[in-house]
């Protein structure tokens, strides 16, 4: 994803940095990486949410996560509805946290503030 973001940076931006006298490291730090991270952030946040959802599948194999712990608790207490509802709320809260955090970071890194370039 970061490689795709790096490839999305216009070559003219890199050339402009080099012409203005910036060294290779300075161009990378001031031009390439900020633009690449802005480009890759939506895809990366989507991937994090997908991995969070996939952890429910992992619990069927070996690892204990929220779903695995919920299954263990259901087998001990026989209260399936309440326990799986709590597990669903935990997954929802984690997904919302990642989504809100990624949205905040996208707004923070955006060059446009209130409709005008910064």
Per domain, the residue ranges of the chain are 2-117
Q: What is the pLDDT of residue 91?
A: 87
Residue pointed to by tokens 């989504």: 99
The pLDDT tens digits for 59-116 are 666 667 788 888 889 999 999 999 999 988 988 998 899 999 998 988 888 877 655 5
The beta strands (E) that lie in the chain are given as 112-113, 116-117
Q: What is the pLDDT of residue 79?
A: 92
Q: What is the pLDDT of residue 54?
A: 80
The pLDDT tens digits for 38-60 are 889 889 988 988 888 887 776 66
What number of other Cβ atoms are within 10 A of residue 5's Cβ? 19
In the chain, how long is the greatest CA-to-CA distance? Answer: 70
Architecture category of domain 2-117 in CATH: Orthogonal Bundle (1.10)
66: nearest Cα among 95, 43, 101, 100: 95
Q: What is the pLDDT of residue 62?
A: 62
What number of other Cβ atoms are within 10 A of residue 104's Cβ? 10
């Amino acid at each position: 994803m970061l490689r795709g973001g790096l490839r999305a940076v216009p070559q003219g931006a890199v050339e402009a940095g080099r012409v203005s006298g910036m060294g290779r490291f300075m161009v990378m730090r001031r031009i390439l990486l900020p633009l690449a991270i802005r480009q890759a952030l939506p895809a990366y946040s989507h991937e994090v949410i997908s991995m969070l959802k996939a952890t429910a599948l992992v619990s069927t194999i070996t690892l204990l996560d929220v779903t695995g712990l919920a299954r263990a608790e259901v087998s001990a207490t026989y209260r399936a509805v309440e326990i799986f509802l709590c597990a669903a709320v935990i997954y929802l809260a984690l997904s919302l946290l990642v989504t809100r955090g990624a949205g905040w970071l996208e707004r923070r890194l955006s060059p446009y503030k209130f409709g005008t370039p910064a």
